[in-house]
Structure 1
Amino acid sequence: MMDFLHHLTFWDWLAFGTLLLILEIFGAGGYLLWIGIAAACVGVLSYLFPELPWAWQFFLFAILSVLTAVFWWQRQRSAGKPSAQPGLNRRGSELIGRSFVLHEAIIGGRGKIKAGDSLWLVSGPDLPAGTPIRVVGQDGVLLRVEADSSN
């Protein structure tokens, strides 16, 4: 075993990195990706510095693995921050609080309003078409409405 460690080549590190990247394909959630990249980096370093002792190669692999894992962790953590545009991909949220005229009667709790050039499904109390309503909430593509008493 020690003979193998004393004669590690860049091919060994590249093969190890490739193996980790292949295992990543099977669903490791990004963890083996960064460790595989660290192994490939050690392979490149051992190619550039062929006399690099095996102990230093393992030390560099450990350091690079930790650095890439911390980089990934920080990137994932920053991706979870609230958006500067909270209504993005929630088109109906901009309609909350606005008043409209009921386009199709609400029967059995369902009806439609026309907002701009779009028809929206609404839920609320049964009301006839032409009734002024106000949007009070959103459930996916369904807007919750109530009769607008201000008109």
Structure 2
Amino acid sequence: MLSRMVAELGPWSWWLLGLLLLGAELLLPGVFLVWIGIGALATGVISLLLWESAAWGWQIQVLVFAGLAVVATLLGRRYLSKSDLVTDEPLLNQRGASLVGRTATLQDPIAEGHGRIRLDDTYWPVLGPDISAGTKVRIVSWNGRDLIVEAA
């Protein structure tokens, strides 16, 4: 049935596949089927030009489609991966990094390099030299989990 439909539609079968893939992209999350759909549409354009050629068999069409889909995917990833966006909140989702430079009072003393401070409504684990509780400290960096502090 599928081969009969492809034979009847001719080069338009690639266009149909491309449009189905682009439509599926609307239903599925992510941006992946777009590039495969573009590969199918490009194969459809080539098929319109070469459909009567004896060398343009289904095997060649599938190879051209696969190659164009890979090229479209690679170009699309390169285009979308450009992250030169300028934002007024570069540390928006990096709360620990946004705390660097602030001062706080030690809630628990730093003993053997580990302690705890309270900033706003959150307790943060800190690393630094041994310092007694109640001492003012300055946050100098963040390692992804702990804030690194020094005496202020």
Q: Shorter-chain TM-score: which interval?
A: 0.5 to 0.7
Whether 2:15 is the aligned partner of 1:10: answer: no
Alignment of 1:134-149 (within 5 A): 134-148=138-152
Give the RMSD, CA atoms, in angstroms.
4.1
Task: Identify the range of structure 1 (102-111 vs 34-43) with the bigger mean alpha-carbon deviation.
Answer: 34-43
State the shift of 1:110 in Å.
0.7
SS in 2 for 1:146: strand
Which residue does the alignment assign to 1:114?
Answer: 118
Residues 14 and 40, structure 2, Cα contact 8 Å, conserved in 1: no
**Which of 62, 68, 84 in structure 2 is aligned with 1:81?**
84
SS in 2 for 1:53: helix
Partner amino acid, structure 2, of 1:73: R
Q: Deviations over 1:102-128 (max 9, x none)?
A: 001111111110000000110001111
| Percent identity (aligned) | 36
Q: Deviations over 1:86-144 (max 9, x none)?
A: 21211122221121110011111111100000001100011111111111111112100
Which residue does the alignment assign to 2:104?
Answer: 100
Distance in 2, Cα, partners of 1:37 & 1:117? 50
Q: Structure 2: where are the runs of 5+ without partners?
A: 1-8, 22-30
Distance in 1, Cα, partners of 2:51 & 2:74? 21
SS in 2 for 1:119: strand
Distance in 2, Cα, partners of 1:9 & 1:15? 11
* TM-score, normalised with respect to structure 2: 0.59
SS in 1 for 2:98: helix
Residues 10 and 42, structure 1, Cα contact 8 Å, conserved in 2: no
- Name the CA shift for 1:68/1:120 in 2 (closer, same or farther; >3 Å): closer
- Name the CA shift for 1:53/1:92 in 2 (closer, same or farther; >3 Å): closer
Partner amino acid, structure 2, of 1:11: S
- Aligned positions, number: 123
Distance in 2, Cα, partners of 1:88 & 1:16? 38
- Name the CA shift for 1:67/1:126 in 2 (closer, same or farther; >3 Å): closer
Distance in 1, Cα, partners of 2:108 & 2:10? 75
Partner amino acid, structure 2, of 1:53: L
* TM-score, normalised with respect to structure 1: 0.59
Which residue does the alignment assign to 1:54?
Answer: 50
